[in-house]
Amino acid sequence: MKATPTQRREFLKAGCAALAMIPVIALSGRAAAATNAAMRSSLKYQDKPEGDKQCSNCMHFVPGKTATANGGCKLMPGDTEISPHGYCVGWTKK
């Protein structure tokens, strides 16, 4: 069976659309994991606790998908790489 010009055009359009989506998909994975370096620095964020003070028991911590997964922080907008075992000077007990 021979393809008509219309079928070929539709196939090429679909192929081009799929190719155009590759960078969008690749960048969306990177955008999901982001840090706010300026806020981390100003709040003296570290990936280890300070005594019993750690992000998992801070009122500003936004938990990740699991108890050990990285989460976010209300004080560091856009940062999705906050360790539940981390600490910063903005720590406030829940």
Task: Report pLDDT digits (tens) over 67-79.
Answer: 899 999 999 998 9
Please, which residues bridge with residue 46 across strands? 87
Quick one: what percent of the chain has pLDDT higher than 90? 56
DSSP assignment letter at 25: H
Name residue, tokens 């964020």. Answer: 45
Residue 21 has pLDDT above 90, yes or no: no
CA distance 40 to 82: 10
- Report the pLDDT averaged over residues 49-66: 95
CA distance 81 to 37: 11
Residue 26 has pLDDT above 60, yes or no: no
CA distance 43 to 90: 6
The pLDDT value given to residue 36: 85
Q: Does domain 35-94 have CATH number 3.90.1300.10?
A: no
Domain ranges, ordered by start, for the chain: 1-32, 35-94
Name the strand (E) or helix (H) holding 93: none
Name residue, tokens 């590759």. Answer: 22
- Report the pLDDT averaged over residues 33-55: 91
The pLDDT value given to residue 55: 97
Name residue, tokens 């699991």. Answer: 66
Mean pLDDT across the chain: 83
